[in-house]
A and B are shown apart, each in its own frame.
Chain A
Amino acid sequence: KQEVTQIPAALSVPEGENLVLNCSFTDSAIYNLQWFRQDPGKGLTSLLLIQSSQREQTSGRLNASLDKSSGRSTLYIAASQPGDSATYLCAVISGNKLVFGAGTILRVKS
């Protein structure tokens, strides 16, 4: 059974810092990995999708990496802003469904 773990559970940083969110998964037989952002009580916004054959994807200040063999992914956020405050969820495509981690709650202080 696929299990996804995210570390840290919560993170508070001052504005402008670069930060890294970690995601690990137990079964390396994944099709791809997707990072999402969720604001309180809101829907899930897809940030980046990394296919299983890829090593990383970039979008603006976000960079996600994937090491499938070791079962790890990182989401790097450069020059963090207060508007980045949200919960960040990592999910792997395992079988025909996404399996989510518990998320990292990020707070960027101005």
Chain B
Amino acid sequence: AAGVIQSPRHLIKEKRETATLKCYPIPRHDTVYWYQQGPGQDPQFLISFYEKMQSDKGSIPDRFSAQQFSDYHSELNMSSLELGDSALYFCASSLAGAKYNSPLHFGNGTRLTVT
């Protein structure tokens, strides 16, 4: 079965550069979530989209922005990168929003290293 696809798998950037992470949800899933997981930390919610509209916002820095496109894929744009942005970034998708008892399915993540 198709899973959540994230690209790239690994990304190395320097401080103050920008990065774009992509997420392709499971077909027919209309909700996308972004999470950040630092070393030894649990995943922290950044932002979510339902039907291409932002549905919830967590601890996402102002330097980051995200959107969901007409084909339901999502991109997380990160600017003015800092060393502390080094983390594993997960995307998850679900059908009709989490509150409708649809499990979240996670991608394998993008490991971002800022040097």
Binding site for B on A (CB under 8 A): 31-32, 34, 36, 41-46, 49, 51-52, 89, 91, 93, 95-103
Contacts and interface: CB of A to CB of B under 8 A. Distances in A.
Contacts of B109: 42-43
A37 B63 CA distance: 31
A32 B55 CA distance: 18
Contacts of B98: 31-32, 93, 96-98
Contacts of A93: 98-99
Nearest to A103: B42
19 contacts: A32-B101, A41-B111, A42-B109, A43-B107, A43-B108, A44-B43, A45-B106, A46-B103, A46-B105, A46-B106, A49-B103, A89-B42, A93-B98, A96-B97, A96-B99, A97-B48, A98-B104, A99-B45, A100-B43
B106 A43 contact: yes
